Amino acid sequence: MVCSWVGRGLPGLGLGGAVTDEKEVSRQLQWQRRNEAMGLCVICGKEPIHRAKRCEVHWEKNREAARLRYEKRVSERKLAQEENQQ
Ligand SMILES: [Zn+2]
């Protein structure tokens, strides 16, 4: 499976221009790791849904993002196929 994050930079980190605040980043990471260790939503710290590392809200968002990524991939592939057929 190809990792779709590769080549896109890290999510949540500002790209270009502004200097990244390392303290802010590590605090965010600490928060995420703490929540993960406690079995809570890694984003907001609320009670996660069954077998997920996210609460219902963030799980839905994650799923939606994954769906959009998938649909984009599929439509790109379709376009490529149509181009080959012409
Ligand atoms: Zn959440």
Question: Residue 20's pLDDT is what?
Answer: 66
Percent of the chain predicted with pLDDT > 90: 58
Q: How far is the CA of 76 from the centre of ligand 1 (A)?
A: 31
Question: Residue 23's pLDDT is what?
Answer: 80
Domain locations along the chain: 23-85
Q: How far is the CA of 13 from the centre of ligand 1 (A)?
A: 19
Question: Residue 12's pLDDT is what?
Answer: 52
Question: Residue 18's pLDDT is what?
Answer: 59
Residues measured by CB to lie within 5 Å of ligand 1, the ion: 41, 43-44, 55, 58
Q: How far is the CA of 77 from the centre of ligand 1 (A)?
A: 33
Q: How far is Cα 52 from Cα 70, in angstroms, rounded to an integer?
A: 20
**Mean pLDDT, to the nearest integer, of 38-52?**
91
Q: How far is Cα 12 from Cα 18, in angstroms, rounded to an integer?
A: 13
Enter the pTM of the model. Answer: 0.55
